[in-house]
Structure 1
Amino acid sequence: MSYPASPLLVDVAADVPTVERRRLLTYAVPEHLIGQIEERQLVWVPVRDELTLAVVVRCHRELPSFPVRPLYAPVEPAFRLYPWQWEVAEWLCDETVCSLFEAVSPFLPPGISGHTVEVLRLRPGMPDAAPRLTSVQRALVDLLAERGEMTLEAARRALGRRLTTVVERLVAAGVIERAARVRPWSGPAATQRFVRLGPEAGNGLTPEQREALRRIQLLLARREGAPVPWDMLRREGVTASLLSGLAERGAIEILELPRLPAALAPQGSPVDLDLTPEQIRAWNHIRDALRGQRSQVFLLHGVTGSGKTELYLRATAECLREGRQAIVLVPEIALATQVLSRFAARFPGQVVFLHSALSGSERIAAWQAVARGQAPVVLGPRSALFAPVSRLGLVVIDEEHEAAYKQDAPPRYHARAVARQLVSRHDAVLLLGSATPDVSSAYACDQGEVIRLELRERVGPRVVRSDGQVERAPLLLPPVEIVDMRLELQRGNLGLFSQALLQALSEALAAGEQAILLLNRRGLATVVQCRACGHVESCPFCDVPLVYHADRGLLICHRCNFRRPPPSTCPACNSRAVSYYGAGTQRVERDIRRIFPEARVARWDQDVARRGLDPAELVRLARRHEVDIVIGTQMIAKGFDFPLVSTIGVINADTQLYLPDYRAGERTFQLLTQVAGRAGRRSPGGRVIVQTYTPDHYAIQAASRHDYQAFYREELAFRRRHGYPPFRRLVRLLYRHSDDLACQIAAESMAERLRAEATRLGLGDVEVLGPTPAFISRLRGRYQWQILLRGSDAQRLAAACTIDPGWVVDVDPISLL
């Protein structure tokens, strides 16, 4: 159907697959919507026979050479990106080589794309008697006049007609209008009410209201301006009617904030800790940047237990005093309960918890609280970085080295890079914190792009000197003992545990202390193999061995979750010589329970987490000393702070050391250093035992000495030699297909196109490596081939070349596996 052209047109970036990343579609703005459509606004447009979300890029009056369809409607409630959000989205589009709409999508209100309904309503000012209406048209008009706004589906049911042509003609005649409204989520979000002072002075108040306002002011002063919980005021004798009356006169504001999960509820009163000299030096730099309101990036490089979180809290408090907002990122919500509860205690009534695992109603309630300016502190994983803040003053990225900060779907951004874009547009401060910083972050410090602030000592207990002054005694990092498992094997020890580790566990249990055992593999046995013919039980859809999980009695693929019972005989030769090799956390748990039958043992890995067990429960068990030994994967190496843990055992430090990935050494060093930092955090005497078959590797040696600089020097030399980041950029292109030959042909064709484009652009610095099969050559039944671009202009080449649909483009990948 053709439509008359409107004098006003819009170019939009729509949510449609496209080879051209910045391809725009042009639509006419219907006359009744002129004045309602602006640039950066979210709208609905027709694409083929469906309504599609789009964002307006440009409004203009340049008539194209082709007929245009009318724009359908603005999204309701109306949503428009801030100018800085649009700037960051355009940067994301170019930097991550994605479409413009994909770059906009992280900023959109939660659930907007899949939770929308079409509604019909009469046009405002329409005369009661519209001329020349058919009987069906008149029936629809009368229905809308009687019931008001209705969904299209409800109108169809009421009239028993499809109404497609009827609606189109009534819209064209200006009798009715259509809109696409975001439906309310079912089930209200659990909220908590708080009170703060309003914009008005409170003139004309009754004596009772003035007394109530005085009480509120006293409580606010006692809480240093933090909003007062509604329940607290009620306990103070301030009635609901008094509060409502004060709110009506503008003397107070009543905030309706999402209730934090029980695991994040403030635990006791906030404690303002004394700072060590190192913390004071670091804090002075951070405070000056916050007060000067200038864009600055700091790397807070502090050993485990050195008090980084206290500096995060103080920086957030300073940000709030300046009337600005703060975003605090943690790598994984399941492991961050202790950090988040400290923020909730320090800033009651000012914190929202924003992440994708919330229910729809909870997530939109938190998002709206931030958009209204009622919640100045936003906590969450990487997605919280896109919260609708308008006065950003601080971004904190805790454990900035974690891989969880890299998004694995378009736009494939890294939170660190996006945060730098945000703070530069808000004159804000970015605070990166880690005991084992990413090598690229440390190199940025060497290049003068980031200011390094160091905390080399742990925060120890308070001590009173002879002159009466109070200071904090230093608390040493625990000593690390490396055990060469090759020697254990020569001595006849065929078990998982060295004699040194068993002795340390016995001593810890006898002393009433706790221990952590780390093995970064799940399951009971990692390989099931026939000893007669060598057949290995592998996933039929992925080129990986199946792992035996004893608690479920199943072989499970850790890539696609395929499951089947273990065989009693070999499917290849019918032999009964089927054996189980390798070890995972379930094997460690089984053997520890056998060796130490009196010990209370808890396992924490992804299998346990997926069954819905709350990580806060593990924290409570450990803090109440209801568990003696915690066994787990890398999940237990970060985020948990157990005061009674004195002994750490790493079962196999080589698990990921020799994987074909340039970050393998870095990941090993980080994991060992982080898990070692769980010991001796409250008192001296901690002990760490690392079992390895390659004790001389520089990552293991440096971790044993808690020596980041030694590791950094070796790692940097390795990357310089081989041309890896931070010296040269990488872009990974991955293609999947159900047919291996078709996948290879497509990859070879793309590689030739990339080489030709590099020659055309004169990008001699860029190497096109491959194509080659990926490390896992088949995943979920689809073969995988990859191409690597290496060089300073690698991203520029990927952005300039036309890339066929189906390719995954990952700029600055954190893994090549």
Structure 2
Amino acid sequence: MYAEVILSRRFPKSMGVFDYKVPESLLGRIRVGHLVSIPFRKSVAEGVVVRLKENPFPGVSIKTLTGITDDPPLLTDQQLQFAQWMSDYYAVSIGTVIKSMIPGIPKRTRVRAIMEWPKITPTTPTNITRSEQPVLVWIESVGLRQDWYATFFSTLKKQTLVVLPEVAKVHFFLALVPPDLRKHTVVVHSKLGIAEFYDAWKKIRNGSARLIVGTKMSVFLPFSSLDSILVDDEHDEDHKQYDQNPRFDVRTSVLTLKKLFSCGLWFVSPAPTVERYFQAAAGHMTLQKETSKVRPAISIVDMKEERVKKNFSLISDALHDTLQASLSKKSRVFLFLNRRGEASTVVCKECGHTVFCPDCKRPLAIHTQKRQTELVCHACNARHELIRCGHCSSVSFKYIGGGTQRLEREVINAFPGTAVSRLDADTTLYNATAEIVIGTELARKRIVLTEFLCIGVIAADIMFQRPDFRSSEKAFQSLTELLTESSHSASIIIQSYSPHHPAITHLLSNDLEAFYRNELTERKEHLYPPYSQIVKLMNTHYNDPEASIRLIQKFKADKLSAYELPHQGGQHNRPTVILKLPLETTMRQWKVIVSRIPDTWLIDRDPVSLS
């Protein structure tokens, strides 16, 4: 007897399955899903048996596997089917996917109790829409979301998976789990130790875990009888793994899990992705919309008018007055600016040259640290000294644009004696009781917005101006989250040079679906998702400038639409080709396309960003 074995290693997409002879001592014992040890090249490796057969692949030398590493079989039939689908869809070797499914086996199996259960959040029962189709749950306030989840958890009878975009949200969900379900709940994420993860893995495998709360890695778990899947914050781009293979998206992957287990599937969001809204509007998903009757007061400030009034601060007069009134009432303030640093661009006053990162060829930002000024690249995090202009040797520069450090300085000067704290990727200390909190997207996800009765969006235009077809959608989602997660008695002031941008006007008029209709019209005109599928291809060979041209010529010969993104050079900027696939592209057609892509290209199907 022979076994087809997949090595749990990262291989090129064309490799992964090898034939091994089963020794007589293992006949009758070995099964599909077993983790086995095998001789591979000049070492011993581990792999998973995916098929048993009578005859090996002809014309190759067959080695004998060494033994069974773990008994009973480590992977389930559903996991192996899921791995094969992911390998095919995301064009990676199946061994790369299997590696994500195999847990570390601890030397000591004793696990200390580490879960600290929060106090239960009071909620009100609500309706749960159930359907054979996936359900898109559009919830417009954090209170309604708490009610919905608490009601859902109270009705659980079988194994349920809740996928969160990040670890920080685990505490929010644990507070909604009823007492009788808590002893059957496990949490799974990358910060668990080997023993803790393995303990949760075993409970999921044997069925004693009824509720699994985890991040995107949880789609690889050995579910025993999965009955329901919920994807929280469906719009969050952290549901996509974009920095290493397999570059999978939770929102696509759970559709395959739904088929494998015939289970229910819910996507929950205050501002769904355009793709999911399109599917619901087309009848491919069931829409449950929970609308809030009250919401915070929103006002818009046109920053062009502030410049006419000679106000060149990051803080408009209207926001300044609102801050002053809020502080006088002892109300806390959150100022949202999604750009860190002191200034975003440095320009020589003498010759007008913009200072770029020598590695990434992107403009360097000014940061201040302990009264020292340095240049920082936000792409590769390289740091440089600013001494002289590289073109004319001048030592005179001007700083353009503002970040959180400049905003912090302006706020401290405008409101002396007020406790101000900044929370972004550059800060190590954060005062959680500060009267004014300044932060980026990182802060928005960490703080509890209901604690702030004044919220200012300093420069909404930063979100609109990203060179990506999703920029309007992402800006709309960020602004909507600020709105839905804030207290109903809060005041929100949005500062923008583009006050008539659709993301702002539709939010102001509370006609959220109009934004989606407008976005779909624009995407249909340019054939962007959901009217096509996007594949981003990144070349790992930086010194082959003709590679992109050759690849695009291949695609055009197959009558496929492809183009190269502008390449600025530098060791952190890979040559990138964007491929548009028709919606009707089948898996067989996709495999043919993949076979024509050299192994030097990284493949990212359904990327969250083109840049």
Task: State the TM-score, normalizing by the size of structure 2.
Answer: 0.92
Task: Quote the residue 1:62 is aligned against.
Answer: 55
**Alpha-carbon deviation of 1:65?**
2.7
Confirm or deny: 8 A CA contact 1:10 1:28 kept in the other structure: yes
Task: Quote the residue 2:400 is aligned against.
Answer: 581
**Alpha-carbon deviation of 1:306?**
4.5
**Alpha-carbon deviation of 1:688?**
1.0
For 2:549 and 2:180, locate their aligned partners in 1 and report how far apart those are by CA, in whole Å: 57
Q: Which runs of 5+ in 1 are unaligned?
A: 1-7, 112-181, 192-258, 290-294, 458-473, 759-763
Task: Quote the residue 2:82 is aligned against.
Answer: 88
Task: Quote the residue 1:479 is aligned against.
Answer: 297
Structure 1 position 661 matched with structure 2 position 465: no
**Alpha-carbon deviation of 1:663?**
0.5
Structure 1 position 809 matched with structure 2 position 603: yes
Task: Quote the residue 2:516 is aligned against.
Answer: 712
For residues 219-618 of structure 1, what are the structure 2 equivalents within 5 Å?
Answer: 259-260=114-115, 265-268=116-119, 270=120, 273-275=123-125, 279-280=126-127, 283=128, 285-286=129-130, 295-319=132-156, 322=157, 324-343=158-177, 347-408=181-242, 409-457=244-292, 474=293, 476-551=294-369, 553=372, 554-564=374-384, 566-608=385-427, 611=428
Deviation track 1:646-688 (CA, whole Å, cap 9, x = no partner) reads 111111111131322111110111111111334324xx3x211
Structure 1 pair 657–782 and aligned structure 2 pair: CA distance change class (3 A): closer
Aligned residues, how many? 604
Deviation track 1:159-206 (CA, whole Å, cap 9, x = no partner) reads xxxxxxxxxxxxxxxxxxxxxxx5527x96432xxxxxxxxxxxxxxx
Q: Secondary structure at the match of 1:521?
A: coil
Please identify, of 73-82 and 13-22, the stretch whose mean Cα deviation from structure 2 is larger.
Answer: 13-22
Confirm or deny: 8 A CA contact 2:533 2:583 kept in the other structure: yes
For residues 3-22 of structure 1, what are the structure 2 equivalents within 5 Å?
Answer: 8-15=1-8, 21=14
Structure 1 position 799 matched with structure 2 position 582: no
Confirm or deny: 8 A CA contact 1:648 1:687 kept in the other structure: yes
Task: Quote the residue 2:442 is aligned against.
Answer: 635
For 1:778 and 1:454, locate their aligned partners in 2 and report how far apart those are by CA, in whole Å: 46
For 2:16 and 2:193, locate their aligned partners in 1 and report how far apart those are by CA, in whole Å: 34
**Alpha-carbon deviation of 1:441?**
0.7
For 1:17 and 1:267, locate their aligned partners in 2 and report how far apart those are by CA, in whole Å: 39
For 2:436 and 2:178, locate their aligned partners in 1 and report how far apart those are by CA, in whole Å: 29
Confirm or deny: 8 A CA contact 1:637 1:678 kept in the other structure: no
For 2:398 and 2:270, locate their aligned partners in 1 and report how far apart those are by CA, in whole Å: 41
**Alpha-carbon deviation of 1:513?**
1.1
Confirm or deny: 8 A CA contact 1:648 1:676 kept in the other structure: no
Task: Quote the residue 2:453 is aligned against.
Answer: 646
Q: Which runs of 5+ in 2 are unaligned?
A: none
For 1:443 and 1:816, locate their aligned partners in 2 and report how far apart those are by CA, in whole Å: 21
Q: Which amino acid aligns with 1:267?
A: P
**Alpha-carbon deviation of 1:788?**
1.8
Structure 1 pair 557–568 and aligned structure 2 pair: CA distance change class (3 A): same
Deviation track 1:765-794 (CA, whole Å, cap 9, x = no partner) reads xx33223445xx446445423232332255
Q: Which amino acid aligns with 1:593?
A: I
For 2:287 and 2:250, locate their aligned partners in 1 and report how far apart those are by CA, in whole Å: 19
Confirm or deny: 8 A CA contact 2:270 2:484 kept in the other structure: no
Task: Quote the residue 1:750 is aligned against.
Answer: 551
Bigger relative contact order, structure 1 or 2 (CA pairs below 8 A, ≥6 apart): 2
Structure 1 position 101 matched with structure 2 position 95: yes
Confirm or deny: 8 A CA contact 1:406 1:413 kept in the other structure: yes
**Alpha-carbon deviation of 1:498?**
0.6
Structure 1 pair 272–687 and aligned structure 2 pair: CA distance change class (3 A): closer
Structure 1 pair 713–412 and aligned structure 2 pair: CA distance change class (3 A): same
Q: Secondary structure at the match of 2:453?
A: strand
Structure 1 pair 58–338 and aligned structure 2 pair: CA distance change class (3 A): closer
Q: Secondary structure at the match of 2:426?
A: helix
RMSD: 2.5
Structure 1 pair 73–778 and aligned structure 2 pair: CA distance change class (3 A): farther
Task: Quote the residue 1:727 is aligned against.
Answer: 531
**Alpha-carbon deviation of 1:585?**
1.3
Q: Secondary structure at the match of 2:580?
A: strand
From the CA coordinates, give the structure whose radius of gyration is larger: 1
For 2:178 and 2:380, locate their aligned partners in 1 and report how far apart those are by CA, in whole Å: 37
Structure 1 pair 795–748 and aligned structure 2 pair: CA distance change class (3 A): farther
Q: Secondary structure at the match of 2:49?
A: strand
Confirm or deny: 8 A CA contact 2:534 2:578 kept in the other structure: no
Structure 1 pair 423–316 and aligned structure 2 pair: CA distance change class (3 A): farther
Structure 1 position 699 matched with structure 2 position 533: no
Task: State the TM-score, normalizing by the size of structure 1.
Answer: 0.70
For 1:53 and 1:430, locate their aligned partners in 2 and report how far apart those are by CA, in whole Å: 34
Structure 1 pair 664–346 and aligned structure 2 pair: CA distance change class (3 A): farther
Q: Secondary structure at the match of 1:606?
A: coil
Q: 1:789 aligns with which of 580, 584, 590?
A: 580
Structure 1 pair 551–448 and aligned structure 2 pair: CA distance change class (3 A): same
Confirm or deny: 8 A CA contact 1:525 1:547 kept in the other structure: yes
For 1:298 and 1:639, locate their aligned partners in 2 and report how far apart those are by CA, in whole Å: 28
For 1:334 and 1:305, locate their aligned partners in 2 and report how far apart those are by CA, in whole Å: 16
Structure 1 pair 495–20 and aligned structure 2 pair: CA distance change class (3 A): closer
Deviation track 1:255-297 (CA, whole Å, cap 9, x = no partner) reads xxxx22xxxx3333x355334xxx33xx2x34xx5xxxxx442
Task: Quote the residue 2:486 is aligned against.
Answer: 679
Q: 1:190 aligns with which of 99, 108, 112?
A: 112
Confirm or deny: 8 A CA contact 2:455 2:493 kept in the other structure: yes
Deviation track 1:92-123 (CA, whole Å, cap 9, x = no partner) reads 122212222223333221x3xxxxxxxxxxxx
